[in-house]
Amino acid sequence: MAEQTQFIKYVQKYFTGFIASVYKTINGEKNAPKYLYKSMLTPKPSVDGKWTSLLADNQNVAADVVAMDSPLPLKSRPSLGSVSGDIPKLGMELKMNENQLDQVDTMRAKNADIKEITEEIFDDTKRCIVGVEEQKEYLFLRGFSSGVALTDSDNVGSGIRVNYGYVNQAGSTVILSQANLATATPIADIRTQIDKADDAGVTIGYMSLDKATLDLMRNTNETKDLYAVYSGNFGTTKPAPSAKNYPDFLEAELGVKVIVVNRSIKFEKDGVKKTVKAWDAGKIILHPDINVGQLVWKKPVEADHQSKAVEYRMGEHGALISKYVTHKPFGEWTDIQARALPVINNVNEIFQLDTKIVQA
């Protein structure tokens, strides 16, 4: 049974401010983890706890030139299709054991600096907030790159699988691998998809891909030949461009902005930690705009059914953070719950190139 936190004085005075400082650090500090979902998704609250991914025919058509006093021809409005589902629950909890609580008591007895005491008391709060942010980033990067937001097999709980319904998926002319650097033509394959998008009335403005795929592309003979011409090198030796210069070269060659993803997420299950690459390796995503969808969220049910013994605070996007004590087992607990899901919209305007398979 939950009881009031042992640190009620500190919670009442500092808990809200500490939570705000954690989010401020996440959103702005130079050395804080970078969350692409924050710059590529628009937060959207959901009333009914559902998410919807739209497939929109948003193509503009030219107006007609008509004679004076003639009726205007009726044009069709953009058509919408959709896939939808329930917003999943994200969460974690951390416990301060007797030794950790004793350490805080010692700090208080020695009149330690209040900043040190609050950081010790609320350290689990920071870890919980960052844990939810990491899961949201993983779901976004995995879903955006593969078309399917899927929790890792080491996730605790039932897990989720959300298929956004990508419709423009293609393979490579030659599989991009270390063994095929002489024959692979990823730049030509990308250009084919950009032309395909253009034929469909979609102007590609961005290309997102993982760093490992970018490094393979950089060392292909195709890249070396094109880069030699680009840099005015007409000799017999054609080195690969540097990792620093290659994105700029691709932007000039393809006319798109390049977003390179090199993000790992740590998961823990049964006390065992595992690091997972968030981006689906080998996938190149071509998209018109930097904003590709929404972060759909809803407050957890407990936010409206709170226990009087528990201290609650709200975080970003409806996250519910709580602190309380139990005696069997004894410990000071910090929980976080959130209902949030990255949702990709206008998926018919997204073109996916899989460099690990050959186009049928």
| Cis before 329? omega within 30 | yes
Q: pLDDT tens-digit profile of 284-332? A: 999 999 999 999 999 999 999 999 999 999 999 999 999 999 887 788 8
Q: Say if residues 51 and 87 touch (Cβ distance below 8 Å).
A: yes
Segments in the chain forming alpha helices (H): 8-10, 16-28, 36-40, 98-109, 114-121, 123-146, 186-199, 211-218, 221-230, 246-254
Maximum Cα–Cα distance for the chain, whole Å?
A: 89
Strands 293-298 and 41-45, bridge-based pairing: parallel
Q: Which pLDDT score, from 0 to 100, does residue 68 have?
A: 45
Distance (Å, whole) CA 251 – CA 287: 14
3-class DSSP assignment, residue 239: coil
Q: Along the 360 residues of the chain, how does pLDDT read in single tens digits?
A: 778 888 899 899 989 999 998 888 887 655 666 899 999 999 999 888 887 776 544 444 344 444 444 454 443 333 344 556 788 888 888 888 888 888 999 999 998 999 999 999 999 899 899 889 998 999 999 999 999 887 654 555 556 778 888 889 999 999 999 999 999 999 999 999 999 999 999 999 999 999 999 999 999 999 999 999 998 887 888 999 999 999 999 999 999 999 999 998 888 777 788 888 999 999 999 999 999 999 999 999 999 999 999 999 999 999 999 999 988 778 888 999 999 999 999 999 999 999 999 986
Q: Which pLDDT score, from 0 to 100, does residue 77 have?
A: 37
> Of 138, 172, 169, whose CA–CA distance to 155 is shortest?
138
Distance (Å, whole) CA 136 – CA 130: 10
Strands 272-277 and 283-287, bridge-based pairing: unpaired
Q: Say if residues 91 and 338 touch (Cβ distance below 8 Å).
A: yes
Q: Which pLDDT score, from 0 to 100, does residue 228 have?
A: 94
Helix and strand element counts for the chain (H, E): 10, 17
CB atoms within 10 A of CB 197: 19
